[in-house]
């Protein structure tokens, strides 16, 4: 399944005149925004082109790139939610009476997305404050110093620049197997699902896969990881083995299972005082 730009916006009717900048950054993620703001603070004229093609499941997002929208920020919130749930369960041992209530996935998603959108808005404000021109547009190179930027309404802008920075980031890939596009989601989609994923099969054992598996399991879902060979390829394998083999934390810790042990246990509580000196070997 290929997503063409034509399926996302109407075709352009007109091309406006070129706009020139000292620097044009393609990609509005953490790296692209940091570079653009720094260049602007140093007196350069700067523009940023940011455009997110929808995932096969239809997910898209605003300014801020992977980290803010479908990476570090929502991931940490999901892990925090999982850890709070596990702490609530473990708190019974310490005298608390945790209510046995199901997790409200919709509440978590609403709050996560509200925070993500507020951060995206803050990035837009920072661009305005630093005089960085921001275009919600898909940029394509025409020559080494020119790009055509197609906006969401289909209009095309021509931008020229002395220098360009490519900071487009990456997207998850789908395996070339029947049904993958129709029946699977990726980390691009899991942080904005309207309903919980339920029982989940995570295909792959990279750090993103294991992070997703970890917080989904912590939220109470049955999770299976499908691993081709080794977990966390390219990472420290001693730590990787620890992560894979470490069981779920015990929700009911018992640091003193026997509060009154026998200080001098008898290894043979009923010894025979007169053993047979000549036992029958065939008995």
Both ends of the chain: CA-CA distance in Å?
Answer: 78
Mean pLDDT across the stretch 110-118?
Answer: 97
CA angle 118, 216, 62 (to 5 degrees): 25
Checking phi first, is residue 180 left (phi over 0); if not, alpha (psi -120 to 50) or beta?
Answer: alpha
**Per-residue confidence band for 5, with pLDDT thresholds at 50, 70 and 90:** very low
What span, in angstroms and rounded, lies between the C-alpha atoms of 164 and 23? Answer: 6
pLDDT surpassing 60 at residue 179: yes
Above 90 in pLDDT, residue 41? yes
Average pLDDT rounded to a whole number, residues 116-128:
97
The residue that leads in pLDDT, 229 or 3, is: 229
Angstrom distance (rounded) from CA 219 to CA 216: 5
Residue 146 above 80 pLDDT? yes
Whether the predicted pLDDT of 188 surpasses 60 = yes
| pLDDT at position 88 | 86
pLDDT for 16 equals 59
How much of the chain exceeds pLDDT 90, in percent?
71
Q: What is the pLDDT of residue 12?
A: 45
Q: Is the per-residue pLDDT at 250 higher than 80?
A: no
Give the list of residues 6+ apart from residue 141 with CB closer than 8 angstroms, or none: 147
pLDDT score, position 6: 36
Task: Retrieve residue 48's tokens.
Answer: 């940023």
Residue range 190-205: average pLDDT?
Answer: 96
**pLDDT classification of 15: cutoffs 50, 70, 90:** low
102-to-84, 153, 191, 219 alpha-carbon distances in Å = 13, 43, 19, 10
Sorting pLDDT into bands at 50, 70 and 90, what band is 247? low
Query: Token pair for residue 11?
Result: 């075709």
- Alpha helix (H) ranges present in 6-71? 30-41, 65-70
Percentage of residues in the chain having pLDDT higher than 70: 80
CA atoms within 13 A on the CB side of 28: 28
Rounded-to-5 percentages of helix, strand, coil across the chain:
35, 15, 50
Q: Token pair of 150, please?
A: 């197609």
Q: How confident is the model at residue 271 (pLDDT cuts 50, 70, 90)?
A: very low
pLDDT for residue 248: 58
Q: How many CB atoms lie within 10 A of CB 42?
A: 10
């Amino acid at each position: 399944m290929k997503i063409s730009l034509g399926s996302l916006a109407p075709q352009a009717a007109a091309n406006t005149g070129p706009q020139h900048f000292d620097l044009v950054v393609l990609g509005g993620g953490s790296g692209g925004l940091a570079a653009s703001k720094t260049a602007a603070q140093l007196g350069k004229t700067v523009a940023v082109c940011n455009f997110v093609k929808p995932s096969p499941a239809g997910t898209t997002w605003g300014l801020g790139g992977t980290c803010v929208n479908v990476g570090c920020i929502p991931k940490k919130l999901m892990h925090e939610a999982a850890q709070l749930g596990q702490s609530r369960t473990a708190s019974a041992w310490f005298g608390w009476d945790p209510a046995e209530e199901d997790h409200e996935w919709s509440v978590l998603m609403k709050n996560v997305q509200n925070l993500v959108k507020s951060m995206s808005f803050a990035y837009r404000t920072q661009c305005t404050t630093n005089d960085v021109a921001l275009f919600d547009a898909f940029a394509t190179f025409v020559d080494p110093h020119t790009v055509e930027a197609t906006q969401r309404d289909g209009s095309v802008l021509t931008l020229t620049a002395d220098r360009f920075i490519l900071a487009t980031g990456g997207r998850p890939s789908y395996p070339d197997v029947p049904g993958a596009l129709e029946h699977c989601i990726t980390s691009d989609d899991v942080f904005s699902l309207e309903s919980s994923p339920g029982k989940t099969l995570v295909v792959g054992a990279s750090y993103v896969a294991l992070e997703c598996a970890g917080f989904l399991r912590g939220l109470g879902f049955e999770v299976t990881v499908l691993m081709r060979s080794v977990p966390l390829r390219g990472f420290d394998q001693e730590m990787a083995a620890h992560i894979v083999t470490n069981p779920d934390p015990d929700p009911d810790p018992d640091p003193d299972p026997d509060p009154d042990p026998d200080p001098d246990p008898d290894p043979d509580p009923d010894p025979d005082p007169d053993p047979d000196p000549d036992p029958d070997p065939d008995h």
